[in-house]
Amino acid sequence: MDKLKFRIGKNGVPILSKNEIESIAKLVLNDYDSEIFKRPKTLDVEDFTENYLNLDMDYQDLSYNQSILGMTVFNDCWVMVYDVENKKERYVEAKEGTIL
């Protein structure tokens, strides 16, 4: 698939309208598995993320009450996560292209 083009904010986060997100999602899903629109089925999120998008997945608790369900890292940084074992917040290093 050709590289998608869209506006990027100063912080590296894409700036997209709802319609742009829908259009891009359809293009990407069709490229990943064109059968998905002909015969609906579950999406293997880990395969899609790691092998198609070439992103890393890092399973972390992002908040003590699970109010934050996910995060995408656009630049190398440190991210605060919740350490369930020790019942406190801590920072972990996160690389660009990681989904938490």
The encoded tokens of residue 55 equal 């992103």
Whether 53 has a pLDDT exceeding 80, the answer reads yes
For residue 13, what pLDDT is reported?
82
Please tell me the distance from the alpha carbon of residue 47 to that of residue 2, in angstroms, as a whole number.
20
Longest dimension (CA), the chain: 47
**Pick from 49, 40, 52, 39: nearest CA to 73:** 49
For residue 97, what pLDDT is reported?
94
Q: Residue 87 in contact with residue 93, Cβ under 8 Å?
A: no
State pTM to two decimals.
Answer: 0.72
